[in-house]
């Protein structure tokens, strides 16, 4: 049984259909990436999985066998699935340490908040240096590290990341991809939305390519890297 199994996902906002009949899965231990041009429906997909965007009644989303499509986000997080949303949404008026504490709210019995906080400071040395600084005064790269560190405070079994490298300097991008590789080696299953196609496919086992809310291509990352379908999806050339 896949860890995450999404079947027939459709997301409609008012009259706009952002995602249409999308099915995909993530097996335990995998790194899976969802790729596609701007507006392809990637964030809508991630948000719908977490209960943050409306999914059509015909959609089915199962996490470790539990139907989650009607559950509120807090309950989904408690089951062990956490999203680092696009745009580094940290709490600007809270300190680094307080932001981390907020992340442990849905920890349940998966770990100890104090130990997780120390491991966050080991993993992200810059956050340790800035533990009493207000998050709103951190640089973009530091805020992204904090956003990921906060997600890790819930000891997720499945970590969803929406464009973690967006707008960051090359060294920070490299740090984040190295971190994702390391988390994967430590046993965290990862679902990653990225614009950074080459780097995402370099760490992923498999990928799905969306165009205009529909699945365009899917396959092993090594096959997708060699495929011309990716370019077509990005250029909006439609079906391959
Ligand atoms: N809350 C919303 N209300 C109305 N339309 C929305 C909403 N969120 C997204 N959309 C629309 O749904 C479509 C898909 O958007 P989505 O953010 O899922 O794409 P994306 O692939 O993540 O794009 P990007 O890479 O630019 O973040 C777009 O046409 C967008 O304008």
pTM: 0.93
What per-residue confidence (pLDDT) applies to 111? Answer: 82
Q: What whole-number distance in Å separates Cα of residue 149 and Cα of residue 123?
A: 8
Q: Check if the beta carbon of residue 40 is closer than 8 Å to that of residue 210.
A: yes
Average pLDDT over residues 110-126: 92
Q: Check if the beta carbon of residue 123 is closer than 8 Å to that of residue 160.
A: no
The band of 240, judged by pLDDT with boundaries at 50, 70 and 90, is very low
**Residue among 11, 13, 160 to mutate when testing ligand 1 (max atoms within 8 A of CB):** 13
Q: What whole-number distance in Å separates Cα of residue 69 and Cα of residue 53?
A: 10
Pocket (CB within 6 angstroms of ligand 1): 13, 16, 18, 36, 38-44, 86
CA of 18 to the centre of ligand 1 (A): 6
Sign of CA dihedral 198, 200, 203, 209: negative
Residue 48 pLDDT more than 70?
yes
The band of 232, judged by pLDDT with boundaries at 50, 70 and 90, is low
Average pLDDT over residues 203-210: 96
Q: What is the mean pLDDT of the chain?
A: 92
What per-residue confidence (pLDDT) applies to 227? Answer: 80
| Residues 171-190 pLDDT 10s | 999 999 999 999 999 999 99
**ipTM of this complex:** 0.92
Q: For residue 193, what are the β-bridge partners?
A: 34, 162
Residue 108 pLDDT more than 90?
no
Which ligand 1 atom is at minimum distance from the Cα of 162?
Answer: 22
Sign of CA dihedral 45, 166, 34, 49: negative
Pick the CATH number of 1-80+157-240 from 1.10.3720.10, 3.90.650.10, 3.40.50.300, 1.20.1060.10: 3.40.50.300
Average pLDDT over residues 94-109: 90
The band of 236, judged by pLDDT with boundaries at 50, 70 and 90, is low
- Among 81-95, 129-143, 172-186, 217-231, where is mean pLDDT lowest? 217-231
Which ligand 1 atom is at minimum distance from the Cα of 193?
Answer: 22
Three-class secondary structure assignment of the chain: CCCEEEEEEEEEECCEEEEEEEEEEECCCCEEEEEECCCCCHHHHHHHHCCCCCECCCCEEEECCEECCCCCHHHHHHCCEEEECCCCCCCCCCEHHHHHHHHHHHCCCCCCHHHHHHHHHHHCHHHHHCCCCEHHHCCHHHHHHHHHHHHHCCCCCEEEEECCCCCCCHHHHHHHHHHHHHHHHCCCEEEEECCCHHHHHHHCCEEEEEECCEEEEEEEHHHHHCCCHHHHHHCCCCCC
What per-residue confidence (pLDDT) applies to 237? Answer: 55
Comma-separated ranges of CATH 3.40.50.300 domains in the chain: 1-80+157-240
CA of 93 to the centre of ligand 1 (A): 28
CA of 17 to the centre of ligand 1 (A): 9
């Amino acid at each position: 049984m896949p860890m995450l199994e999404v079947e027939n996902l459709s997301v409609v906002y008012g009259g706009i259909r952002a995602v249409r009949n999308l099915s995909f899965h993530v097996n335990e231990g995998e790194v899976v990436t969802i790729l596609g041009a701007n507006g392809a429906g990637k964030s809508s997909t991630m948000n719908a999985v977490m209960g943050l965007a409306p999914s059509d009644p015909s959609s089915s989303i199962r996490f470790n066998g539990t139907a989650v499509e009607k559950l509120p986000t807090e309950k989904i997080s408690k089951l062990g699935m956490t999203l680092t949303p696009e745009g580094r949404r940290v709490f600007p008026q809270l300190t680094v340490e307080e932001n981390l504490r907020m992340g442990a709210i849905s920890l349940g019995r998966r770990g100890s908040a104090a130990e997780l906080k120390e491991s966050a400071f080991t993993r992200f040395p810059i956050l340790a240096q800035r533990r009493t600084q207000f998050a709103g005064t951190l640089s973009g790269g530091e805020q992204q590290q904090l956003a990921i560190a906060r997600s890790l405070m819930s000891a997720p079994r499945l970590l969803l990341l929406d464009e973690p490298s967006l707008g960051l300097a090359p060294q920070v991008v490299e740090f984040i991809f190295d971190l994702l590789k390391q988390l994967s080696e430590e046993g965290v299953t990862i679902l990653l939305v990225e614009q950074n196609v080459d780097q995402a496919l370099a760490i992923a086992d498999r990928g799905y390519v969306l165009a205009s809310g529909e699945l365009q291509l899917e396959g092993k990352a090594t096959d997708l890297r060699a495929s011309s379908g990716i370019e077509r999806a990005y250029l909006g050339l439609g079906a391959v």
